[in-house]
Chain A
Amino acid sequence: DAGVIQSPRHEVTEMGQEVTLRCKPISGHDYLFWYRQTMMRGLELLIYFNNNVPIDDSGMPEDRFSAKMPNASFSTLKIQPSEPRDSAVYFCASSLGTSSLANEKLFFGSGTQLSVL
């Protein structure tokens, strides 16, 4: 398997523009996570899905952020309108989803480096 695939790798946009980040999880994984990494706050969970259904979006910072998972192999994270403080690395991760909650390894994509000017 190619692992978790994210696109684009880098995104530079101007304030006010819409930004869409994309993720393809590992085939067969039931859980998909979106994280944001900044120097100030480290890694933070934004939202996660189980079997394409959003389970916990309490980490989504504002209504400007939205995420969808239309099928098991694709998810998007959208920011509209974007602001300079949204600049960060956004990671997508997936996990298998076994019956044992204590044994879930997380597999990360390479991330999207977002710069909002």
Chain B
Amino acid sequence: KQEVTQIPAALSVPEGENLVLNCSFTDSAIYNLQWFRQDPGKGLTSLLLIQSSQREQTSGRLNASLDKSSGRSTLYIAASQPGDSATYLCAVSGVQTGANNLFFGTGTRLTVIP
């Protein structure tokens, strides 16, 4: 069964700092990897989706990379802002378990201090 791990579990940084969130997964046979943001009491918002054939995706200040062979992904946030404070989750869909069965990590809770 696919296992997804996110390190660190929590991260606190001063405003303006660049930061990296990490995600690792055990089965490299994936369809895609997604990064989500979850605000307290809210649902998840999809930030970036990287297909298995891609190496990275960018959206504004966010850049996600994928190294499928090593089972790793990183989410880079440039010039962090207090509004970036949230929990960030990564999720993968595997060839063995089907494209529609996403396995989620437990998330990294980010706090950006003004």
Contacts and interface: CB of A to CB of B under 8 A. Distances in A.
Interface of A: 4, 31, 33, 42-43, 45, 48, 50, 55-56, 91, 93, 95, 101-111, 113
Interface of B: 31-32, 34, 36, 41-46, 49, 51-53, 89, 91, 93, 98-102, 104-107
A101 B43 contact: no
Contacts of B42: 110-111
B49 A108 contact: no
Nearest to B52: A102
A103 B101 contact: no
Interface core residue of B41, B91, B100, B102 (most chain A CB under 10 Å) = B100
Contact of A103 (B49, B102, B105, B107): B49
A56 B101 contact: yes
